[in-house]
Amino acid sequence: MFRKIKRAVIGAPRDLADKATFHNISLIALLAWVGLGADGLSSSSYGPDEAYRALIAGDRTSLAIGLALATAITVTVISIAYGHIIEHFPFGGGGYVVSTQLLGPRAGLVSGAALLVDYVLTVSVSIASGADAILSVLPEHYYQYKLTITTVAILVLVILNMRGVKESVMVLAPIFFLFLVTHVILIVGGIGVHVADAPRVIRSVAGDLHHGWSLGGFAMMALFMRAYSMGAGTYTGIEAVSNGLPIMREPKVQTGKRTMIYMAVSLMFTAGGILICYLLFDVRPHGNDTLNAVLLNNFAGSWRPLNLPVGHAFVVVTLAAETALLLVAAQTGFIDGPRVMGNMALDSWLPRRFTLLSDRLTMQNGVLLMGAAAIATLYYTGGNITQLVTMYSINVFLTFSLSNLGMCLFWWKSRKRRPSWKTQMAVHGIALALCALILVVVVIEKFGQGGYITLAVTTLLVMLCISIRRHYRNVQADVRQLDEILTGVPLHDHYVEKNLESGQPTAAVMVGGYSGFGVHQMLSIQRLFPGHFKQYLFISVAVIDAATSKGIDEVEQARIRAEDALKKYVDLAHRLGFAADYRLDIGTDPVEKGLELCHDVHRQYPRALFFMGNLIFPSDTIFTRLLHNEMAYQLQRRLHFGGLNAIVLPVRAQPRKGAQRITPAQPSPKP
């Protein structure tokens, strides 16, 4: 029943052997704009709001025009810089990969940790802001249900993303375009109705600026920088496109750059246009309403053609579209967050399980963790959008700064062989200066308001990642000792090739790559069952994970590597005087595919006994369980319940103190 429900909700497995699979799940530029650009576009719901509130507090709303211009310039510069990053890193990875390759692993770790915290906050801020937008048109007592609403919204997104990225984007695309239409009407109409009043507005703004400058130019510049930094959330979605390149349609670079153009233009138009409309309509805070809700009511609330409440309907539809787009924007965190986790896990900064894919080719573990972390963040802050935005915009500018610093160093080192280095250096240098300036101002302004929480969480995550990598490296160093077995195995003087016989006792050994770990299993079987097994059958699953899920070519390469390893095991068995063969399959779940292979083997060789190796540690802790899978024991349990016999051959992972070696242990007593 559980499996039927899961299939109905999540969907049927995808066929990895079908060449059309990866084409069908990739996104064209328009859909990538929806899935990845929504984060930037939706920030117009809270970025201009926070910036303009700072101007209202300083009684200098006339600075809104300069703020709109600064916003457009910043978006343009950062977008152009990331367009160049897309060209140089066509397989995605964004800030983490850029910093790792150009500045070193530690800088990459800081960038990756900052991105993960940022994507969790992307989900939290988007969902909380969306709830605020829709609650603005409901009676005030409904605010008590805000956390319940946000939790349900996150759970819906988790389910959609477990089905697949393209499926979730297709569902949410109509919302995205409804937002665009309603906000084009708002901005164009809002500015249009004030065209006749433009001379008076210009004189008023100029007079206010002159008066403010005469009273204290430094104070006015400080206010402008504060408002500029408070609106820093406006730029947070720009990096998402470079992170999401793996899910885009070929040619990925062109698709990514086109998506970046769509996002930059739409973000400049909406964020800048809303700031100008705030000024033209003299928008002021009203209760719990967002400034966008106040603006909409000022713009269209009084429309009543034929005595019909058309204006109120437009306000409701626009706020509903804004709410729904914020739900779409949270999608960016679910698309890019798990991919950053996967890249970091491949480099051993995070548990390896985050590289695994579901049978729908989604990064299921990362999606679940992103959802849980976002819900925890919302409950910690009570869903307070001001506190969330305060925590939000710090890390993204840390990543922006590191990425552009890395590109500046790259072009400086390449200046002798690349004629365009000056232009590239100028672009990334300006982007670095802007991002570093915003980062410094944001940290100073927001540190005491809650920004310290973001910095503390990011620091703790960095420390955790360092501990995880140190553990993996120690284990790898110990396991490497097993490779010495390969040089010490006594071989026959001549090659003995034998065919398997169906009725003979068969040692069916689950193996991965060709290494001392697999050879250790063969030797342990001979030691535990001397003279019993005369033939070996090596079984392997070529696991398709974050590193091999970029297309059908990568899948085929994974199959070839796994088959080459199996052929080496067969060759070794022949040289040891045993009959041998192999079985291979491809999949995302090694347990499920391994189970299918084992049952197929048993039908052909009914006297087969199945063996699999598993690392064991001096102490069984939550830490070791999290960092190392229990695949061998899971498969053993499933095989036993399926009526097959299986033995786990443990290998002790000894501490490196005293140069202790990995030694074979007795077989697992588990039934």
Which residue has better confidence, 504 or 332?
504
> For residue 434, is pLDDT > 50?
yes
User: What is the identity of the amino acid at 665?
Assistant: A
**Spatial CA neighbour of 55 closest among 36, 37, 70:** 70
Q: Could you tell me which residues are beta bridge partners of residue 614?
A: 650
Q: Could you tell me which residues are beta bridge partners of residue 586?
A: 542
Task: Cis check for the bond before 13: say yes or no (omega within 30 of 0).
Answer: no
CA distance 569 to 513: 9
Q: Phi and psi for 606 in degrees, rounded to 5? A: -65, -20
> Angle formed by the axes of helices 291-300 and 252-280, to 10°?
70
Asked if residue 482 belongs to a domain, the reply is no
Residue 618's CATH number? 3.40.50.620
- Is the domain of 421 the same as that of 568? no
Residue 107, both tokens: 């800088």
> For residue 510, is pLDDT > 50?
yes
> For residue 600, is pLDDT > 60?
yes
Q: Could you tell me which residues are beta bridge partners of residue 650?
A: 614
Q: Which residues of 598-628 are buried (b: 16+ CB within 10 A; e: fewer)?
A: beebbeebeebbbbbbbbebeeeeeebeebb
E strand spans, 486-555:
506-510, 535-543
- Is the domain of 453 the same as that of 558? no
Give the 3-state secondary structure of residue 356. strand
pTM of the model: 0.78
Q: Give the pLDDT of residue 215.
A: 56
Which residue has better confidence, 47 or 669?
47
- Is the domain of 552 the same as that of 463? no
- 656 — pLDDT class (breaks 50, 70, 90): very low
Asked if residue 668 belongs to a domain, the reply is no
Residue 110, both tokens: 């800081």
Give the 3-state secondary structure of residue 509. strand
Asked if residue 359 belongs to a domain, the reply is yes
Q: DSSP letter at 451?
A: I
Mean of pLDDT over the chain: 81
Cα of first residue to Cα of last residue in the chain, in angstroms, is: 27
> For residue 657, is pLDDT > 50?
no
Lookup result for tokens 């006594």: 490
Asked if residue 567 belongs to a domain, the reply is yes
Lookup result for tokens 């204006």: 311
Mean pLDDT of 612-636: 81
Asked if residue 174 belongs to a domain, the reply is yes
Q: Give the pLDDT of residue 209.
A: 67
pLDDT tens figures, 87-129: 888 776 678 888 998 999 999 999 999 989 988 988 888 888 7
Q: Give the pLDDT of residue 432.
A: 92
- Is the domain of 554 the same as that of 619? yes
Q: To 10 degrees, the CA torsion angle through 447, 448, 451, 453?
A: 120
Strands of the sheet with 579-587, listed across from one edge: 579-587, 535-543, 506-510, 608-616, 646-652
- Is the domain of 523 the same as that of 467? no
Q: Minimum mean pLDDT among 289-303, 320-334, 655-669: which range?
A: 655-669
- Is the domain of 552 the same as that of 436? no
Asked if residue 33 belongs to a domain, the reply is yes
- Is the domain of 590 the same as that of 446? no
Asked if residue 670 belongs to a domain, the reply is no
Given a contact cutoff of 8 angstroms between Cβ atoms, the answer to whether 190 and 281 are in contact is yes
CA distance 488 to 472: 26
Which residue has better confidence, 600 or 577?
600
Give the 3-state secondary structure of residue 671. coil
Asked if residue 284 belongs to a domain, the reply is yes
- Is the domain of 355 the same as that of 494? no
- Is the domain of 225 the same as that of 366? yes
Which residue has better confidence, 43 or 531?
531
**Helix, strand, coil percentages in the chain from 3-state DSSP, rounded to 5:** 70, 5, 20
- Is the domain of 26 the same as that of 137? yes
Residue 312's CATH number? 1.20.1740.10
> For residue 460, is pLDDT > 90?
yes
Q: What angle do CA 497, 500, 504 make, to 5 degrees?
A: 130
Could you say which of 425, 440, 471 is where a domain stops? 471
- Supply the range of the domain harboring residue 556: 489-659
Given a contact cutoff of 8 angstroms between Cβ atoms, the answer to whether 111 and 93 are in contact is no
Residue 26, both tokens: 């990739």
- Is the domain of 452 the same as that of 508? no
- Domain count of the chain? 2
- Is the domain of 76 the same as that of 219? yes
Could you say which of 409, 443, 471 is where a domain stops? 471
Could you say which of 471, 503, 532 is where a domain stops? 471
CA distance 612 to 518: 9
Other beta carbons within 10 Å of 454:
24
